[in-house]
């Protein structure tokens, strides 16, 4: 179902599509490809929206910390807003101090995507398309991107990313849903139990840019190889947690880059019984514990979002990869196609 959600200041209409399949319900905006609502049942069959967001387009335009949005051209941070590619230095839009975050001041989260609904067998979904012109936010090449959201008969939400370019460039696409499996506006996620299939993570400097080290998680608060409540080690005083005001780091997934999505993370809320499982083709995942939610934003339930009221699990290549030759490459050249897939499952 398609409906008018609102209008931008210039009069551009923003539409919302509603999808339902396999027990999962989702609402998606043409603005930013935003997942405005995602509902799943708890152990008693009661539905709740488990993603943070807003009821008005104005709030997404002026106040959103990337709630539910598609992120590009480059998910996460690029240090000092620049990188060198084939001997040429490119200077990017710096929107996070001196660094570039999530594609710059006007990334893919702030564009109006072309949206086409589809049904394929028992699957339903949306194809979202956008062309980013050469030089936009400082990135070289005209990048043509297509992102497909699919709800399967099993209730899985699958995201397939694809992109091509006419000049050598870098690309790293992801999605920025803020999860709270107890329901948006229900309070802290510190009791959620998280598992991440990673023995290493990428420590950061004070600006949250990777130092280049691939550090072992053993003996640190970053060890989630066995299920652990998110709040267990949150206040240990570890220097990396102090610098980021919580978890805001990239985990080096043990599986590396794969042709097909492989399981990398499980999130469970013991109170509601809801579970989220994440599988991806990507080599990294950013776990962000909602550190900068400050109580000034109010969701659809009428409750303020405070620090730690949600978390993000952003599948990705590593932050600042263009400036670290030993990180998996994010370079895309003409004639190549960037592809990435992530699947979110909600087992009963």
| pLDDT tops 90 at residue 266 | yes
Could you report the per-residue pLDDT of 61-75, keeping only the tens digit for each? 999 999 999 999 999
Of the CATH numbers 2.70.98.10, 1.10.10.10, 2.60.40.10, 3.30.420.40, which one belongs to the domain with range 2-345?
2.70.98.10
| pLDDT tops 90 at residue 348 | no
Q: What percent of the chain has pLDDT over 70?
A: 100
Burial 107-137, CB ≥16 within 10 A → b, else e? bbbbbbbebeeeeeeebbbbbbebebeeebb
- Give the DSSP per-residue string, 65-111: SSTT-EE-SB-SEEGGGEEEETTEEEE----BTTBEETTSTT-GGGS
Q: Please choose, from the candidates 162, 203, 218, the residue with its C-alpha nearest in 3D space to the C-alpha of residue 320.
A: 203
| pLDDT tops 90 at residue 153 | yes
| Mean residue pLDDT across the chain | 98
Could you report the per-residue pLDDT of 181-208, keeping only the tens digit for each? 999 999 999 999 999 999 999 999 999 9
What positions carry a catalytic annotation? 176, 314
pLDDT at 151: 98
Could you report the per-residue pLDDT of 36-60, keeping only the tens digit for each? 999 999 999 999 999 999 999 999 9
Could you report the per-residue pLDDT of 165-175, keeping only the tens digit for each? 999 999 999 99
Could you report the per-residue pLDDT of 25-40, keeping only the tens digit for each? 999 999 999 999 999 9
Could you report the per-residue pLDDT of 112-139, keeping only the tens digit for each? 999 999 999 999 999 999 999 999 999 9
Interatomic CA distance for residues 108 and 13, integer angstroms: 17
Evaluate whether 197 touches 254 at the Cβ level (below 8 Å): yes
Number of other CB atoms surrounding residue 25 within 10 Å: 18
Could you report the per-residue pLDDT of 277-307, keeping only the tens digit for each? 999 999 999 999 999 999 999 999 999 999 9
Interatomic CA distance for residues 197 and 205, integer angstroms: 24
Interatomic CA distance for residues 323 and 321, integer angstroms: 5
Q: Please state whether the predicted TM-score (pTM) of the whole model is above 0.95.
A: yes
| pLDDT tops 90 at residue 224 | yes
């Amino acid at each position: 179902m398609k409906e008018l959600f609102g209008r931008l200041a210039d009069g551009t209409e923003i539409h919302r599509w509603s999808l339902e399949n396999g027990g999962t319900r989702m609402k998606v905006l043409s603005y930013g490809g935003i997942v405005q609502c995602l509902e799943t049942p708890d152990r008693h069959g009661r539905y709740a929206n488990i993603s943070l967001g807003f009821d008005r387009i104005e709030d997404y335009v002026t106040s959103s910390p990337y709630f539910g949005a598609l992120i590009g051209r480059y998910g996460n941070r690029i240090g000092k807003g620049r990188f060198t590619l084939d001997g040429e230095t490119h200077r990017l839009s710096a929107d996070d101090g001196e660094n570039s975050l999530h594609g710059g001041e006007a990334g893919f989260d702030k564009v109006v995507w072309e949206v086409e609904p589809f049904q394929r067998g028992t699957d339903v979904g949306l194809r979202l398309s956008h062309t980013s012109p050469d030089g936009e936010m400082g990135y070289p090449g005209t990048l043509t991107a297509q992102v497909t959201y699919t709800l399967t008969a099993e209730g899985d939400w699958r995201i397939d990313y694809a992109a091509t370019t006419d000049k050598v460039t870098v690309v790293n696409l992801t999605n920025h849903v803020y999860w709270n499996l107890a329901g948006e506006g229900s309070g802290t996620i510190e009791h959620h139990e998280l598992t991440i299939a990673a023995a290493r993570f990428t420590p950061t400097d004070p600006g949250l840019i990777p130092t280049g080290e691939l550090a072992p998680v053993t003996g640190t608060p970053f060890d989630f190889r066995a299920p652990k409540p998110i709040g267990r080690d949150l206040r240990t005083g570890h220097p990396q947690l102090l610098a980021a005001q919580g978890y805001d780091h990239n985990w080096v997934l043990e599986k590396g880059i794969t042709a097909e999505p492989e399981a990398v993370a499980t999130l469970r809320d013991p109170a509601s019984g809801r579970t989220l499982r994440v599988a991806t083709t990507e080599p990294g995942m950013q776990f962000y514990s909602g550190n900068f939610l400050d109580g000034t934003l109010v969701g659809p339930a009428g409750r303020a979002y405070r620090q730690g009221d949600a978390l993000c699990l952003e599948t990705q290549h590593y932050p600042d990869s263009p400036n670290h030759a030993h990180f998996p490459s994010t370079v895309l050249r003409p004639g190549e196609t960037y592809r990435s897939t992530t699947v979110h499952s909600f087992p009963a």
